[in-house]
């Protein structure tokens, strides 16, 4: 079967970085048409820099990296240095990238790519706030029906919020963008905190990265050591949730994940619950299902896949 064509829209972020590495290490299943950076965990100049650093680390300097929106559609940017550090990739020392940033704006790249590729053959993989995706849909409504699928990390139901009591970070940063995407009619697969909080980087799993004896393994272990301190303190968990790589793992081995096709709406009116993904998990409304909302995973299988693929780089 031909590899699935994807655009990774991202705000690196240590977990985004692992997701990008997993995608670039899996050419049999995934063809990365481009990596589009968006402001999120850290401001855009850092997310685009970090995206290029990760592609270089993977030895894939031919990957096209684009800078996108530097702020949400209508709101002030909220960032997450408290989780990811000042650079967004804190942990190991990282040299500045040497590979080029593409001149084209990320939103234009998304639009042009969807218009150029055969309809229904491009999957969008947002790993950060949905500003670039929503901007592309607003600027070029004709591309919406051309999208094969959106597989995104964001939202929460049982796990509720991680940036406010009600909202997960990616959705909270740009709830208006999320509302546009979830109302677009494009088939959506959601990897919410309910799922990603089961993908914990236990000591044994981090040791497995370090035991690879490769620069990639060492970097992923160092990023994890930094990234996990926040979640361990907050949740008392053994390790940090590797949120974003769940999106890419789903493309490679969907059978590792399970969920329900339900209605998911985005709160944009209430300041108290802004950015909440109101997931009708128990189907108590007659609102039409618009998303495959994942709730469970085979975490062991996920980390086995991750270790096997990262060892290739
Ligand atoms: O809430 C977790 C999400 O927010 C992840 O994508 C992380 O990288 C941050 O963007
Ligand atoms: Ca992210």
- Ligand nearest to C-alpha 80: 1
Question: What is the chain's mean pLDDT, rounded?
Answer: 97
Cα distance between residue 309 and residue 286, in whole Å: 42
Band (pLDDT 50/70/90 cuts) for residue 1 is confident
Which residues on neighbouring strands pair with residue 291, listed in sequence order? 262
pLDDT in tens, 19-34: 999 999 999 999 999 9
Contact between residue 18 and residue 223 where contact means Cβ atoms under 8 Å apart: yes
Which residues on neighbouring strands pair with residue 150, listed in sequence order? 124, 188
Report the pLDDT value the prediction gives residue 19, as an integer from 0 to 100. 98
Average pLDDT estimate for 52-77: 98
User: Where does 117-192 have alpha helices with state H?
Assistant: 131-139, 169-173, 175-182
Cα distance between residue 142 and residue 264, in whole Å: 23
Residue nearest (by alpha carbon) to ligand 1 atom 10: 128
Contact between residue 106 and residue 124 where contact means Cβ atoms under 8 Å apart: no
Report the pLDDT value the prediction gives residue 176, as an integer from 0 to 100. 98
Catalytic residue among 84, 105, 197, 243: 243
Residue among 16, 172, 192 whose CB has most ligand 1 atoms within 8 A, to mutate: 16
Residue nearest (by alpha carbon) to ligand 1 atom 1: 169
Question: Is 243 considered catalytic here?
Answer: yes
Which of 65 and 227 is assigned the larger pLDDT?
Answer: 65
Q: For residue 40, which atom of ligand 1 is closest to its CA?
A: 10
Cα distance between residue 311 and residue 300, in whole Å: 17
Give percent of the chain with pLDDT exceeding 70. 100
Task: Tell me, rounded to whole angstroms, the distance of Cα 14 from its chain centroid.
Answer: 11
Which residues on neighbouring strands pair with residue 200, listed in sequence order? 241
pLDDT in tens, 112-154: 999 999 999 999 999 999 999 999 999 999 999 999 999 999 9
Residue among 8, 10, 11 whose CB has most ligand 1 atoms within 8 A, to mutate: 11
DSSP 215-283: HHHHHHHHHHHHHHHHHHHHH--SS-B-TTHHHHHHHH-GGGEEEEEE-EEE--S-STTTT-EEE-TT-
CA distances from 255 to 182, 246, 247, 304 (A): 24, 12, 13, 14
> What phi and psi, each to the nearest 5 degrees, are found at residue 148?
-65, -50
Contact between residue 31 and residue 5 where contact means Cβ atoms under 8 Å apart: yes
Q: For residue 15, which atom of ligand 1 is closest to its CA?
A: 8
Cα distance between residue 232 and residue 166, in whole Å: 20
CA distances from 231 to 67, 83, 185, 253 (A): 29, 8, 34, 26
pLDDT in tens, 88-116: 999 998 899 999 999 999 999 999 999 99
Cα distance between residue 25 and residue 35, in whole Å: 14
Residue with tokens 């007659």: 286
Question: Would you say the CB of residue 231 lies under 6 angstroms from ligand 1?
Answer: no
β-pairing, 30-37 vs 65-67, is: parallel
């Amino acid at each position: 079967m031909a590899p699935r064509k994807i655009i990774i829209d991202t705000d690196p972020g240590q977990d985004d970085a692992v997701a990008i590495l997993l995608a670039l290490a899996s050419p049999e299943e995934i063809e990365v048409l481009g990596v589009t950076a968006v402001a999120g965990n850290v401001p855009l100049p850092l997310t685009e820099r970090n995206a290029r650093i990760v592609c270089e680390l993977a030895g894939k300097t031919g990957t096209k990296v684009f800078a996108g929106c530097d702020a949400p559609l209508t709101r002030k940017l909220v960032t997450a240095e408290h989780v990811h550090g000042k650079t967004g990739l804190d942990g190991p020392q990282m040299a500045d990238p040497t590979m080029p940033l593409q001149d084209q704006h990320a939103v234009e790249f998304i639009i042009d790519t969807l218009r150029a590729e055969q309809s229904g053959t491009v999957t969008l993989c947002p790993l950060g706030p949905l500003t670039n995706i929503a901007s592309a849909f607003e600027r070029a409504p004709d591309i919406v029906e051309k999208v094969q699928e959106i597989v995104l990390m964001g939202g929460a139901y049982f796990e509720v919020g991680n940036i406010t009591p009600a909202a997960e970070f990616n959705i909270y940063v740009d709830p208006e963008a999320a509302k546009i995407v979830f109302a677009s009619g494009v088939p959506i697969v959601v990897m919410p905190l309910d799922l990603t909080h089961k993908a914990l980087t236990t000591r044994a799993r981090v040791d497995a990265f370090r035991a690879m004896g490769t620069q990639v393994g060492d970097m992923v272990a160092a990023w994890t050591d930094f990234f996990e301190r926040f979640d361990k303190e907050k949740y008392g968990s053994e390790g940090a949730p590797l949120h974003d790589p769940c999106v890419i793992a789903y493309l490679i081995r969907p059978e590792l994940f399970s969920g329900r096709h339900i209605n998911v709406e985005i709160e944009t009116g209430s300041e108290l619950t802004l950015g909440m993904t109101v997931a009708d998990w128990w189907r108590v409304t007659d609102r039409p299902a618009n998303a495959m909302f994942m709730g469970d995973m085979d975490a062991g299988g996920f980390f086995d896949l991750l270790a096997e693929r990262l060892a290739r780089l």
